[in-house]
Structure formats: C-alpha cells, structure tokens
Structure 1
Amino acid sequence: MGGYNGMAVLVGVVLLLKTGQCDPSCRGTDGQPGVLGAPGRHGYPGEKGAKGEPAVMDGGPVDDGVLKMLKGEPGNRGPPGVMGPPGFRGHLGIAGEPGADGRPGPEGKSIVHGGQLSPQQGRSAFSVIRTDNSYPHVNQVVTFQSAVVNTLQDFNIATGHFVCRVPGVYYFTFHSVAKASVCLRISSNALMDKLGFCDYNRNSDQVLSGGVVLTLTAGQKVWLESFKDNQRDAETRDTNEKRIIFNGFLLF
C-alpha cells in the first residue's frame, strides 16, 4: 500500500515539471554579479629565458671592432691652471737637533808663493804716525816715526811710501792736528791728479782730514806729501807739537 503512494508522488512531480515550463514572456530578472574572490598564492618562478639575439644596426649586426672605433681617444693634457694665492705662513716649529760635525776642510795654503802674495788670501793694512814737531817739508814725501799696524810690511816708514803687492781696491785716509796752517795731499802714480786738503790756523788746534779710494796694481805707490798754498812763511817753520796719522787698507 505504501508502494503505491510513492509512485503516485513521483508521477505528480513529473507532471508538474512538464506543465510548469513558461514561455519567453514570463522570463525573470538577471541576478547581481558575484563578489570577487580573494587573490590566489604566488606561483613558482618561471624558467630562465633563452639568450637574446645580437643587436643590429641599420646596416646589419654590430661588430665588436666597430664598437671600439666608436669610443673616442683620450684627449691631450690640458694646460696648468692659474696659480692660486700663496698660503698663510705656518707657525715656527721647534728647533731641531744639532747636526753632525762636518768633515775637516782641506789643508790651508801659505799666502806667499815664490815671493808673491795670493790675491785671495793677502790682507794688506797699515796705520802710521808722525810725531816729529817740525813742519813737513813742502813738496816732499811725509815720513813717519812709528807704525801702529803694518800687516804685510807694505808701508816703508823710512821713505813714507806704501807699495802695493796685492792688487785690488784700497782706501786711504789721513788726519792731522797742529797749531799752524797745514796743507797735505794724497799722491800716487795711480792718480792723474793729486788730491789736496788745507786747513788754516785760527789761533787754536786745527784738524785736517782727507781720504780716497784707489784701484791699485802690483808695484804702484801711494804716499802723503805737504804743499804750499796760503800759509805764511813763518808757519812753515813752526815747531809746535804736531801729529799726522796716515792709514790704508785693502777693501777687496
């Protein structure tokens, strides 16, 4: 009995499906789009691709030699720039340690070679004094009584002449003090003219000075001599105390 009831229900459903189909005019409305799903997991890395084709130029493939030719050559070195301003002077450093002693110099040589003096090593200088109270004889060489300095014995006190043995430039000067008018001049065979100096008495000690620079060669002479100018005859016979100093030395 129960079997019959089930069969009857199945037949009824089939009939309902057949009779429930509608024509196109009874179509329902479209549904809304669904929501996007969540992103999926990253996939595995793909395999390495194959090597690409060589680059090509308009006229064909690129040659390595052509690429090298396309690179420019290094240029020449440019001129130096303008020098900058000098920097500031640094602070003075501390004194360094004393250096080691140098080696001994060569042995010195004598200044005399066969009677001749070496111009590089000769040192000529003299200073002589006349203490005679008589008036120096006019137009004659003044002689002296003592020598303070006469390094190479170039000055002859007895004759009053300085004889050059070391050629060079010399300086000569004299000073005199007397109560009479005195005129003295420096003379030399190296001078074209004689240099005269005079001082006239004013009833007191008169001081007279003169000097000259001369270039001398070996053998030339220099001396001091008295001459007459405006002195009175009585003055040339004066016997009061007088002093005359004559000096000379090599400059270079």
Structure 2
Amino acid sequence: MLPHFSLVMGALLSLAVSQLVALETCQATGMPGIPGMPGLPGKDGRDGEKGVKGETGAQWRGGGGQQNGEKGEPGTMGFPGKRGQSGESGKPGAPGFEGPPGEPGEHGTVGVQQRAAFSVARGTNDFPERNSVIRFTTVITNINNDYDTGTGHFRCRVPGTYYFVFHASLEDRLCVLMKLDGKLLLPFCDLRRGKRQVTSGGLTVYLSRDQEVWLETKDYRGMRGKPSGYSIFSGFLLRPH
C-alpha cells in the first residue's frame, strides 16, 4: 500500500515543477497596470559655488541719448565752505523816515557862560539835631536848583573851582563842619558864650561832576543860642574846568 502512495506523490511533484518552469520562461500576455501616485517633492540642493565675475557690458543708450537712472536719496549735509570774496558795494538806499526828537542835552560849553551859584538861609532859633546835616530851607538864590533844600546838599553840575562861605549870627557857642562827599573840608567852631557874636568862614575847593558839599553839626556844640539872627550858606563857581 505505501509503495504505491509514494509513487503517486512523486509524479505530482514532478508535474508541479515542470509547470513553474514553464511559467517563468513564457512571455507575459496580461493587461498593463495603473500608474502609481506621484512622489513628494524633494529638498532643495546645496548652493553652488560663486561663478566668475562677468565682463562689463556696453553702456546702454536709448532714445538717441544717455538715460539716467532713478534719483537716489538725499545725502548728509556737508561742512560749510570757505567765505567767498566780498562783492561790490550796493547803491545807497532811499532816506528813511525821520526819527522822534531826542532827549534835551546838557548845557553847552562853547559860547555860553556856565554858571553855578546858591545862597540859602535859616533862622538860628531852629536848632538842628546833633551830628546831623544842616538843611537851609529859605532860598535866596539857587541857579538850576543845584542846592537841594530837602537834603541840605549842594551837587556839582559844572566841574571847576568853587568858593563856599558860611555865616552865622547868634549868642552862644558854634561848631559846624563843612564836608565833601563825607570827608571833612573845614570846621567852623567858636566856643565863646554870653555875648552876641558873628561867625563866618570860607573855602576854595575844586569839585568834579556830581560831587556834593554840605554842612553838619558836631556833637552837642552844633548851632545853639537865643533867636538872634540868621545863618547863611552860600557857594558859587569861580572858574569851570
């Protein structure tokens, strides 16, 4: 029984092998297949090496002449240049309008005689305070108001040589100081008592413009006494400089 089965299986295997060989050696006679789906795009390749610089091309001309490119952006401002040569003077312009009148000037010195003089008085019964300026309030003459009755000062308006004089009539001691800008020029002191007396004194001095002269009392020995007269302070310009 077994030997017969082995013969049958061997015959079947030989037949199968011969059929496979025949399939591999025969040309295909079937229909072509359907094309497959497109593949995904590949990555960019690496940059190639820089090429050699080409030769300069000929200048392009269009419309019969050179054509300019587009206008560029403005550049930065340069340094100031050197000053050029002065041009020729222009012609004089037309006269302008007349200006307003100016302030009055000071008194002239040519052809006009300069004058400065004052004489002022006060009652001797009106005693000034100690160590104070003696203010003479009664004006006899006062050219250009150079003597100020409010302050008791004479202010020099015309520089030059002046003469100042002081006179007092009273019945008691007297001591008065003449000062120039606060500096002592001359003292007038008479310390007799008990009788009527007249005291006077004068001084010549050079004054510059705006210097001031005045009289002051000295301590308690100023101007004291019975009401017996007047005191007078005067000054005038001898010669202008």
Match of 1:165 in 2: 157
Give how far 1:140 is off: 1.1
Q: What is the CA-CA distance between 1:208 and the residue it aligns to?
A: 1.2
State the Cα deviation string for residues 205-229 of structure 1 (Å, max 9, x = none). Answer: 1211111111111110011111137
2:204 aligned partner, one-letter code: V
Kindly indicate whether the alpha-carbon contact (under 8 Å) linking 2:165 and 2:235 is maintained by their aligned counterparts in 1.
Answer: yes
Distance in 2 of aligned mates of 1:181 and 1:148: 26
Change (3 A) 1:165 1:205: same
* TM-score, L = length of structure 2: 0.50
CA 1:126/1:160 → structure 2, altered by over 3 Å: closer, same or farther? same
- 1:20-169 mapped onto 2 (5 Å cutoff): 114-119=104-109, 121-131=113-123, 133-169=125-161
Say which SS state the counterpart of residue 127 (structure 1) adopts: strand
Aligned partner of 1:220 in structure 2 is 211
TM-aligned CA distance change 1:207 to 1:167, over 3 Å: same
Q: For residues 155-203 of structure 1, what are the alpha-carbon distances to aligned partners after superposition, in whole Å with 9 as ceiling and x for unaligned?
A: 11121110111111110001011112110121112x8533111112331
How far residue 135 of structure 1 moved from its aligned partner, in angstroms, is 2.1
Aligned residue type for 2:117: A
Q: How far 1:115 sits from its partner (Å)?
A: 4.5
In structure 2, relative to structure 1, the CA distance for the partners of 1:119 and 1:165 (3 Å cut) is: farther
Q: Which amino acid aligns with 2:173?
A: S
- For structure 2, list consecutive stretches of 5 or more residues without a partner in the other structure: 1-102
**What do residues 66-91 of structure 1 show as CA deviations (whole Å, max 9, x unaligned)?**
xxxxxxxxxxxxxxxxxxxxxxxxxx
Aligned-partner residue type, residue 245 of structure 1: I
Cα distance, 1:122–1:178 mapped onto 2, change above 3 Å? same
- 1:210 maps to 201
How far did residue 139 of structure 1 move? 1.7
Displacement of 1:154 in angstroms is 0.6
CA distance in 1, matches of 2:146, 2:157: 7
Counterpart in the other structure of 1:84: none
Identity %: 39
Distance 1:246 1:176 in 2: 9
Displacement of 1:239 after TM fit?
A: 5.4
Q: Which amino acid aligns with 2:202?
A: G
Normalising by structure 1, what TM-score?
Answer: 0.48
Contact 1:116/1:165, CA 8 A, preserved across alignment? no
> How far 1:123 moved relative to its partner?
0.5
Give the letter aligned to residue 238 of structure 2.
L
Of 180, 188, 191, the residue aligned with 1:188 is 180
Q: Structure 1, residues 18-46: CA drift from partner, whole Å, max 9, x if none? A: xxxxxxxxxxxxxxxxxxxxxxxxxxxxx
* Contact 1:138–1:228 (8 Å) recurs in 2: yes
Looking at structure 2, the residues matched to 199 and 140 of structure 1 have their Cα atoms a distance apart, in angstroms, of 18
Secondary structure (helix, strand or coil) at the match of 2:158 reads coil
User: 1:31 — aligned with what?
Assistant: none
Residue 134 of structure 1 contacts residue 239 of structure 1 at CA under 8 Å; is this kept in 2?
no
Q: Which residue of structure 1 aligns with residue 62 of structure 2?
A: none
Aligned length: 135
Cα displacement string for residues 114-172 of structure 1 (whole angstroms, at most 9, x for unaligned residues): 34233453211111011251322222111112111112211111211101111111100
Secondary structure at 1:173's aligned position in 2?
strand
